Every structure is written in C-alpha cells, then in structure tokens.
C-alpha cells in the first residue's frame, strides 16, 4: 500500500515541467513531497502506522548509509554499528536518567557520531575487502559488547522498558502509534533537510571529489582520508539518531539492531532506491519494507528468494536503482539522453 | 595438559575446515578480484548434496563426497558465465557485494524449499567414528581425517599452482591479466577453471566440516564472515597465508570457547581490527597466488 502512495508521489515528480539544463532544481520539491506523502499515508493507512513508523526510522538509517556510500564511496557492511550504538545509548539514558525524546535523539546521535569518528579514523585508510572486513568487525564488536553487558543492555533479551516522555511535554506516545509516526516523520524530514544541506556544502562537494578521484583531491591540497573520516562521523550521527528514533518509537532495542544482516539490509534498500541521491534512500526503504511486509507475512523464505532475485536484477540491469528510472524517463520526456 | 591437547586437536581441525573453504575464496578473490559473499552458500550446497546422497540415496561417505563436490561445481559453472563474469575486477566492489548477497539469499531460500529448515547431518562411516591412538593420547578419527584432508589440500594446491602449467598461467593472469591475454593465455577459460576450483574447495570443506559447522539454511550467512576474515588476514590469493590465518583463527577461536567462553568473539574481532589496521593487505601477504 505504501509503495502505491510512493509511486503516485513519484509520478508527480515526473510530470512536473523541469527547466532545461536545471535538473538539480527537481531536488527542492523532493523533501516537501516526502513530507506530504508521509502525511497522506498517515490518513490513508491508519492501521499500518507501526510499519510506517519503522519505515521512517529505517529511512533515516539508510540515508546515513547514502551519505557514506553515495557521497563518499565508502563500501561498508557495518553501518548498523552506529545505529545500534545510538539505539542502546538512547535506551540506556531513557531507562536510567532522562526519557525526553529529544534528549534521547541527541544522545543517540552523539554516541553514533563518536563511534564513527573513532572507528573511522582507525579503519578508513583501508580499501576493498579489507575495509569491508573492518566495518563488519566493528559491527560485530558492538554487538558482542551489547550482548555481554547484560546489566546495561539486557543482553540477548533486548533492552526493554523504554518509556519516552511526551514530545515537548504535550504529545504523549499513544498505543496506536499516532505520535510515534508523526514524530518519526518529522525527524526524517529534518534529517533530509540537513543531509541535503551537507551534501551541497563545499564539504559535501569535496567528499564527492574524493569519491571520484582521491588522487586529484590530494594533488590540489585536500586530505582524502580526513574528508572521509568527517563524512563517516557525520553519517554516524545520522545513524545514531535513527537508532535512537527506533528506541523512542518502538520502546525496545534488540541485539540485531547492530547486526551484520541489518547493515546488509540497509545496503540493499539503498541500492534498491539508488545511491547518491538522498531520496533514493527513502524510496528504497519504503519499497523494500512495504514489499517485505506483504511477502514475509506468508513465508520469510519467499521473501529472501524475491529480494535475492531482485538484487541480482538490479545489479545486472538497473545499476542506478528505482530513482534512476524516473530520471531516465524524465530524460526521455525532455528528448534528451537518458539520465546517466 | 589434557585441555591443551583437546584445544590443539579441535582447533587445528576447525582451522583446516576454515582453510579448505576459505582458500577457494582466496584463490578466486586473488585472480578475479571478486568479493564473493556467496562462497559460504556454495559450501552449504556441497554439504546438503552430500547429506542427501548419504542419507536418502544411501551412498557411502566417500562417494557422497565426490558426488557433492562434482554436482556443486557443475551447478555453479553456469553462474560464472551468467553472473560473475560481468562483475570481475576491483572496480565493481559494490556490485559484487550486492549480486553475491542476492545470490546467497536465493540459495538460502532454495535450500530451505528443497530440504526444509531443520539441521541436516552427514552420517560418518564406521571408519571415521572411532579414535586414533597417537602415543599416549587418542584423538577422534574424524578430526584426524579432517586435519589430513586439510594438509593434503594445502600440498595439492601448492603443487597445482607452483609446479604445473595451469599454475604458471594462473599466476601470470593474477599479476597482469591484460599482458597474460596478450601472450596467448586464454584468461576466460582460466577464470572458469579457477572458479570451478574455488567452488569445488568450498563444497569439499562444506562436506568435511559438517560436524563442526552444522548444516542449516542460514549456514550461508552465518559463516561467511569467518571465511572473509581468513582471506582478509591471510591476504587474497596467498595459499600459505590462508592456511596460517585459518589455523591461527581456528585455534584462537577454539581456545576462546574453552578458556574464556564469554569474550571469545570480542577478542577475535578486536584482533582482526588490529591486524588489518597494521597490515591492510593481510598479515601473511607474500606473493599472490
């Protein structure tokens, strides 16, 4: 159902007249559009609010991966380390000291950012398989620490009993998930605005430069590794906030929030939507989790087969993801070459 | 002392299994530069075929082993042609990760569809169930068999790569594929043969290691991190590097389980980070292939 709403939304994007040679102008309507579609989903699908909330929080996480991968070219299978750290930090703070949702988000972001900064400085000199292994190892260590520190994290039982205070002291988190969803959507939209600002800043452009050609960046006086470490830390903040958001909205944090498969799933969602486009993260997450919701209800293995075939298909036939289809169609519509 | 001996035997046997499976990955990674996350799935397929052949078809263990390796190689060769060939080369890292994760998912789902989600065993023959006297100590025959098979694989691969025509071509192609092709080496065929070698080793390890790495549909996802760790530490394409890394990893992991059961995995990954931090191309990086 969600994906239908998304498709309608995208159709809207495509039919909008786009000034020649200014394709980037398409960007600014994206965020209001996502907010509008999100609100429409709130009215149209009141029974699926729990799913929609998870989609919003996961989209923020996938967005963090897009910053790292799409703008920095860092192939990682350990982004969930930051997500899990943020979720646990927020959960622990909420259970023990302060359950204000904004404080939880701040703590989560801080924890994720710090972890990313430290580990990024340690591992980002590597490339290829070595880098993949290092990111996996970081994720496994976080998971293992969370598993062993039972007193704080609840170990394999998960951390439960997180009971966030009302948002701004006014909106209680009700059992139907109305507040949860709107809160998650608001955080996602703010995250998108901030991310968009970051990738269009001189820093974001420098990161893209590193992705395209690290040698040239160092030749003109930049330090590729420094850019990547900062980008990794910034994305870590996003992932940490996403984790904290999950803790706020679901009230529970499990070990799998830092696991290898969550990192891999995020990668799948991002590639499904398209890397390096920010909106691809949101669209990919909505499509992935929407279809998952429908298919996995029957048999989780059917879902695995489906997503596996889909991934193979994407790599072979559609390297740009879902968003690139819209761009290609848009390109054809304007009688130009299809979007590359 | 008794514990130490137990750790050594179990650790070495475990390490040999890791070696047999990982070295296949190492060889394909060294030559084709493919981060093949589906390698664990190939090992799993080998194990399942052997399990089916031994249990349902009633074939003896040795025959089941051969059938499993042969069938796995035959079944994966079309994949090389259709899928892997498109993603060779180190520029395609992300595509490789995604495509092979996708393939892994499909194989996991397929195995579950065909064999169900329960744990499968490969019954051992009489010959391998007892113990072997080794001076004052006795070690389980299966462990001894696994260790012997690992050593044989190591020697066989060394001979294949260092002493045969195939090995010379392969090493040439690893060093400089374009030049090798220009000199008349048919690299496409070489790739196909190497891919078959890699999956064959995976299947062999999957069958031999069924006692240590139990067969269930999530095998493919559960152990791939271990195999990748061996390759990353050993250095892609290095046989002796893989062997040393696999044995070290097997012994450390087993010792961790015996002695400090609570923090085994933590130390394992911490050590992995430190090693890769200091030696990004693998601890045992020597000449490739």
CB contact, 8 Å: A295 with chain B?
no
Please give the radius of gyration of chain A, using alpha carbons only, rounded to the nearest integer: 19
Residue A330 pLDDT grade (very low, low, confident, very high; cuts 50, 70, 90): low
DSSP state letter for B134? E
- Tell me the residues of chain B between 194 and 253 that have a Cβ less than 8 Å away from chain A: 217, 221, 225, 228-229, 231-232, 236
Using the predicted structure, report yes or no on whether residue A336 has a pLDDT greater than 60.
no
- Tell me the residues of chain B between 21 and 40 that have a Cβ less than 8 Å away from chain A: 29, 35
The pLDDT assigned to B116 comes to: 83
- Tell me the residues of chain A between 122 and 161 that have a Cβ less than 8 Å away from chain B: 122-123, 125-130, 132-134, 136-138, 140-141, 144-145, 148
pLDDT for A107-166, tens place per residue?
Answer: 999 999 999 999 998 888 877 778 888 888 888 888 888 888 877 777 777 787 777 777
CB contact, 8 Å: B58 with chain A?
no
pLDDT for A269-296, tens place per residue?
Answer: 888 888 888 888 888 898 888 888 887 7
Name the least confident of A168-177, A310-319, B67-76, B266-275: A168-177
Q: Which residue has the tokens 């955080």?
A: A187
Smallest CA–CA distance from B104 into chain A, residue: A308
Residues contacting B242, CB < 8 A, separation 6+ = B19, B22, B23, B26, B230, B231, B234, B235, B284
Return the structure tokens found at B88.
């060779």
Q: Which residue has the tokens 């040393």?
A: B244
- Extents of the domains making up chain B: 2-278
With 0-12 CB in 10 A as exposed, 13-18 as middle and 19+ as buried, what is A17?
Answer: exposed
Smallest CA–CA distance from A271 into chain B, residue: B98
State the Cα–Cα distance between residues A309 and A306, nearest whole angstrom: 5
Q: Which residue has the tokens 């309507």?
A: A29
Q: For the complex shown, is ipTM > 0.90? A: no
State the Cα–Cα distance between residues A244 and A112, nearest whole angstrom: 9
Identify each DSSP E strand in chain A by its residue range: none
Q: Low-confidence residues of chain B, pLDDT below 50?
A: 286-289
Contact criterion met (CB < 8 Å) for B113 and A301: yes
Q: What is the pTM of this model?
A: 0.80
Smallest CA–CA distance from B26 into chain A, residue: A129
Is A232:A146 a contact under the CB 8 Å cutoff? Answer: no
Using the predicted structure, report yes or no on whether residue A85 has a pLDDT greater than 90.
yes
CB contact, 8 Å: A172 with chain B?
no
Using the predicted structure, report yes or no on whether residue A14 has a pLDDT greater than 50.
no
The pLDDT assigned to B216 comes to: 86
CB contact, 8 Å: A336 with chain B?
no
Range B2-278 classified under CATH 1.10.3470: yes
């Amino acid at each position: 159902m969600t994906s239908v709403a998304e498709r309608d939304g995208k159709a809207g994007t495509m039919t909008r007249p786009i000034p020649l040679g200014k394709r980037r102008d398409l960007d600014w309507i994206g965020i209001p559009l996502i907010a509008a579609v999100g609100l429409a989903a709130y009215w149209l699908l009141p029974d699926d609010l729990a799913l929609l909330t998870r989609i919003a929080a996961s989209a923020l996480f996938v967005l963090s991966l897009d910053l790292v991968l799409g703008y920095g070219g860092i192939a990682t299978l350990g982004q969930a380390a930051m997500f899990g750290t943020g979720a646990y930090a927020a959960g622990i703070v909420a259970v023990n000291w302060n359950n204000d949702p904004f404080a939880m988000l701040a703590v989560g972001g801080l924890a994720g950012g710090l972890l990313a900064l430290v580990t990024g400085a340690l591992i980002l000199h590597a490339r290829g398989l070595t880098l993949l292994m290092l990111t996996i190892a970081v994720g496994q260590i976080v998971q293992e620490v969370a598993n062993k520190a039972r007193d704080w994290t609840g170990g394999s039982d998960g951390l439960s009993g997180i009971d966030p205070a009302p948002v701004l002291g006014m909106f209680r988190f009700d059992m139907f998930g109305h507040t949860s969803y709107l809160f998650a959507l608001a955080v996602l939209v703010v995250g998108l605005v901030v991310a968009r600002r970051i990738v269009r800043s001189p820093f974001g452009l420098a990161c893209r430069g590193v992705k395209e050609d690290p040698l040239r960046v160092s030749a003109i006086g930049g330090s590729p590794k420094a850019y990547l470490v900062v980008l990794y830390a910034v994305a870590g903040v996003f992932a940490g906030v996403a984790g904290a958001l999950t803790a706020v909205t679901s009230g529970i944090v499990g070990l799998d929030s830092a696991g290898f498969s969550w990192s891999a799933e995020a990668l799948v969602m991002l590639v499904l939507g398209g890397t390096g486009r920010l909106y691809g993260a949101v669209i990919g997450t909505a499509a992935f989790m929407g279809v998952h919701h429908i298919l996995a209800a029957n048999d989780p293995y059917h879902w695995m087969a489906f997503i596996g075939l889909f991934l193979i298909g994407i790599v072979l036939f559609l390297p740009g993801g879902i968003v690139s289809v819209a761009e290609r169609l848009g390109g054809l519509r304007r009688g130009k070459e299809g979007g590359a | 002392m008794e514990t130490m001996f137990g750790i050594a035997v179990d650790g070495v046997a475990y390490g040999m299994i890791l070696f047999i499976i990982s070295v296949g990955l190492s060889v394909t990674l060294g030559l084709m530069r493919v981060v093949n996350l589906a390698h664990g799935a190939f090992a799993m397929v080998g194990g399942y075929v052997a399990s089916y052949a031994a249990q349902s078809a009633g074939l003896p263990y040795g025959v089941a082993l051969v059938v499993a390796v042969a069938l796995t190689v035959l079944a994966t060769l079309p994949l090389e042609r259709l899928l892997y060939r498109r993603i060779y080369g180190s520029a395609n890292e992300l595509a490789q990760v995604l495509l092979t994760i996708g393939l892994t998912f499909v194989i996991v789902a397929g195995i579950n569809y065909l064999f169900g989600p329960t744990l499968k065993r490969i019954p051992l023959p009489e010959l391998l169930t007892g113990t072997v006297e080794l001076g004052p100590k006795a070690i389980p025959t299966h462990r001894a068999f696994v260790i012997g098979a690992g050593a044989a694989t190591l020697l066989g691969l060394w001979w294949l790569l260092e002493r045969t025509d195939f090995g010379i071509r392969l090493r040439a192609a690893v060093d400089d594929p374009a030049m090798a092709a220009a000199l008349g080496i048919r690299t496409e065929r070489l790739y196909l043969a190497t891919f078959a070698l890699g999956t064959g080793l995976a299947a062999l390890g999957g069958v031999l290691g069924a006692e240590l790495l139990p067969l269930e549909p999530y095998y493919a996802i559960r152990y791939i991190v271990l195999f990748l760790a061996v390759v990353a530490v050993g250095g892609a394409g290095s046989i002796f590097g893989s062997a040393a890394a696999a044995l070290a990893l097997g012994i450390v992991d087993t010792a961790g389980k015996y002695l400090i059961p609570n923090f085994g995995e933590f130390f394992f990954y911490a050590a992995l980070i430190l090693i890769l931090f200091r030696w990004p191309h693998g601890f045992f990086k020597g000449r490739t292939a």
